[in-house]
Amino acid sequence: MAESPQVALKDDSALVTEAKAGSYAAFEELVNRYEKKIYRLGMNLTGNPEDAEDVLQEAFLKAFVHLPDFREDSRFYTWLVRIAVNEGLMKLRKRRSDKSVAIEDKVDDEGDVMPRDFADWKPNPEQQYAQAEIEAILRNSAQSLSPGFRTVFLLRDVDGLSTQETAEILGISEGAVKARLFRARLQLREELSKIFKRG
């Protein structure tokens, strides 16, 4: 295991090259770097911990299987996000075609595995509760957006990707990204103002 600290210091492109050459340690390091972000993206897209876990596993499995096809002139993370977004949207399509009634997504004690719950720098319980409540309101409000708007909003405003990267991932123009983001933000503002007026 002497290789691990060295693997952790390498940049993504070096790790991808090594993973393509058969290094499981290199691919494992890529998983370690991005699993929390991909899980969070899956959670924000689907609104469901089990689906988010599926998105996470499928995204990394597909990335591993298709690694030989990855063009190294792209960023690995951008490519991985594209795979995860496709998985998340497939989950939403399947859910829409499923005739059973979906149970509301109130995350219970066992299902809530968000990293913020384990942070060392936790605020006091009141602040923590208020923060969790605001995050839940934002997450629920984002769920009210159509999948096209929600995906753009999550990639740009939550994951912090550029307009160009978002356009590349979704296969749409930068103008379409900007238009969708603008409409998503307007809808969210409207939704949030209703919630906060209700008190």
SS (H, E, C) the chain: CCHHHHHHHCCHHHHHHHHHCCCHHHHHHHHHHHHHHHHHHHHHHHCCHHHHHHHHHHHHHHHHHCHHHCCCCCCHHHHHHHHHHHHHHHHHHHHHHCCCCCCCCCCCCCCCCCHHHHCCCCCCHHHHHHHHHHHHHHHHHHHCCCHHHHHHHHHHHHCCCCHHHHHHHHCCCHHHHHHHHHHHHHHHHHHHHHHHHHC
Most confident of 4-18, 67-81, 88-102: 67-81
Residue 63 shares a structural domain with residue 149: no
pLDDT greater than 80 at residue 128: no
49-58 pLDDT, tens digit per residue, is 888 899 999 9
- Please report which confidence band the pLDDT of residue 144 belongs to, taking 50, 70 and 90 as the band edges: confident
How confident is the model at residue 33, as a pLDDT?
93
Residue 87 shares a structural domain with residue 144: no
Domain housing 197: 121-199
Residue at 114 is within a domain: no
- Please report which confidence band the pLDDT of residue 114 belongs to, taking 50, 70 and 90 as the band edges: very low
Please count the structural domains in the chain.
Answer: 2
Q: Give the range among 26-40, 65-79, 122-136 with minimum mean pLDDT.
A: 122-136
C-alpha–C-alpha distance, residues 141 and 41, integer Å: 15
Residue 93 shares a structural domain with residue 159: no
| Average pLDDT for the chain | 79
